[in-house]
Structure 1
């Protein structure tokens, strides 16, 4: 029976690497996967899922109006589809997460979604909030703060390297813009 999985973490915990490894595992066994990534994040090219360790795979892109159920149904009708993998799942809408539950429940295709739990102010993204509520399995991927504790928050840095405490929820960036920290250090800088 298919299930909806949400793999979540702060930045630099290996979410994209885990997604790419999962895709490879399915493909190695002769199975077919559909990989999706957000159109918002094109740092490594549009329609690419890339990890910091150099792994890359092509992906379908989604935006706010993308219909996952329709697209997956088309793929399944055209041939075998064994798994759906989604990178940058925090950018999903609540309606799109509902579509993912339909893919699992009605099409019997497992969905593995990978994303951030919270933004730079410690607030959940809409996609993450819905996934935390509706996923069958929640799996935390861990990374560490500079102090050695588990990092479960992300601090956004401004142009001067200081912690940002206001701004748009979505700002695409990597290590130049964000640092993963434990709650104690996050609170010292942001709260």
Structure 2
């Protein structure tokens, strides 16, 4: 039975390597996938799913105006017409940047097209507020799973993302600032409020 999945975690929890692994596993079995990512994330170029360990793949960038349901429905129809078989899964990276309508379109893909949709992303931003995409995935996803990583400072479980500028914590600013290890640390709650202090 098709479901809408949301796998979330702090920065550096392995979300991107996991989505690339899932894509590989489907394709190794000869199954068709649609690999997508937010058009907002341009760290490795728009439309690129790139892991910190160096593996990357081209993906379909999701723009704010895009209708994911229409795209998947048309792609699936074209794949079948070419004899490539039915689309087996939709995989979406950086799902925190989705808009509410995107999440509802993902649910519609599951419910009407019977194609599973697996989304991967952050839950909360650097001020510990939910992203729009994450909030709606927490509401509408059939299955929600946390991906774990450790705190940059102490090794406890990281649940938050600390924005840094030259190693100093930043608690104010725009919600979206694209960056990697140089801009964000995965941290526990204690070290979010007390960065660098011995626990």
TM-score norm. by structure 1 comes to 0.96
- The superposition leaves residues 25-61 of structure 1 with CA deviations (integer Å, 9 ceiling, x where unpaired) of 0000000000111111111122110111121111000
* Cα distance in 2, alignment partners of residues 97 and 166 from structure 1: 27
Give the CA RMSD over aligned residues.
0.9
User: Structure 2 regions of 5+ residues with no counterpart?
Assistant: 80-85
- The superposition leaves residues 109-164 of structure 1 with CA deviations (integer Å, 9 ceiling, x where unpaired) of 00000000000001100000000111111111000002111001000012x42111
1:92-103 map, 5 Å: 92-103=98-109
Matched, 1:81 2:103: no
- Please state whether the residue corresponding to 1:138 is helix, strand or coil: strand
* Cα distance in 1, alignment partners of residues 46 and 100 from structure 2: 23
Matched, 1:5 2:5: yes
Matched, 1:125 2:136: no
1:112 counterpart residue number: 118
Alpha-carbon deviation of 1:188?
Answer: 2.6
1:56 counterpart residue number: 56
- Please state whether the residue corresponding to 1:101 is helix, strand or coil: helix
Between Structure 1 and Structure 2, how many residues are aligned? 188
- Please state whether the residue corresponding to 2:8 is helix, strand or coil: strand
User: Structure 1 regions of 5+ residues with no counterpart?
Assistant: none
- The superposition leaves residues 46-88 of structure 1 with CA deviations (integer Å, 9 ceiling, x where unpaired) of 2110111121111000121111010001011111211000000
Please say which structure displays the higher CA radius of gyration.
2
1:175 to 154, 176, 181: 181
